[in-house]
Structure 1
Amino acid sequence: MLVTVPVLSLLGQTDEPAMLDGFGPIPPSTARRLVADGADSFYRVLVDPRDGAPLEIGRTRYRIPKAMRQWLRLRDAKCSFPGCNNSSLATEADHLMSWASGGTTGINNLGQPCRKHHRLRHTTAWQPTPATPQQPPEWVSPTGRRYRSEQQDWEPPLWPDSLPALRAASGPPLLEEAAGF
């Protein structure tokens, strides 16, 4: 189960709700308790306070680690094939450029189509395009037409006036500084 918590909400700086995968918003106090108690079946996903995007976990081996699968579930929310509404719980992680052809096991080279569209991708001329950390792959039909994946909209978390703004080009170390780690 994923619990997506704005980092500043987790720190008690804002009162933004957390999102419980498959359920919806939960109070920040509940999210803090789940994170603090280390519930084994919950995975904490902290989002960047600048743009609301979760941070990527990079890997260079074939097998997709559990944390990266969780990232895909969070990014895609459902099958990325146009018009398919199968939830992320019914999808399969897939290398967009195959491992055998030099594809890496990184978030930009992974998608998660449902079983039907995973099979379709390998048995027909439908092809996914590269993904990004924030966008699932688009699909190209056998006739060459491109289709964008439908996905959840990410809204940037609230930034309290009492905290200084972080530089746009900063990375995780500044998040740790702002959080006092």
Structure 2
Amino acid sequence: MGEMAAMEILKLDPHHAGACVFLSNVYADAGKWDLVQGVRSSMKEHKIYKPPGSSIVELNGVVYEFLSGDRSHPQSDRIYAMLDEICKTLSLKGHKPLTKEVTFDVDEEDKEVCISQHSEKLALALGLISTTRGAVIRIVKNLRICEDCHSVMKIVSEVYDRVIVVRDRNRFHHFKNGSCSCLDYW
């Protein structure tokens, strides 16, 4: 059904990036990696690009933007050290990375690395190393927050005693004391 819907949208607008990405994800969910590759190749051939996921965080009047896996920030080493600390803390709290949304044909370990470096987690790590306990960290995400990042934000808000506000494409998420204002419905 998803394939049919995407194909109908593509009939109306053959360069609709969202429909192409959706179709690719439908194929990935079904494990049809050859079709995923076909869609991605077609996108490249027709110069159809989806905007990359990015997150911004404002700290002390300065706005910082991150892409997934970004290492361009001058404090990149400290940011990734904080990410490692967060991952250890999450593990101690029983959190298992939620990799089902990773639509690449790679092993589980690579999927975990991929989601551990999402842009909102990088923004969060910078916020944690740049603010004091109890401070509010505000992040704006240009796409929808994934399930794993949502889960991580809840745990971090509790463990690190922070209020975290994430504005994603659909809504505001207000994380405090281990819960979210959306009641896990987003």
TM normalised by structure 1 equals 0.31
Instruction: Flag the structure with higher helix content.
Output: 2
Q: Which has the higher contact order (CA 8 A, sep 6+)?
A: 1
TM normalised by structure 2 equals 0.31
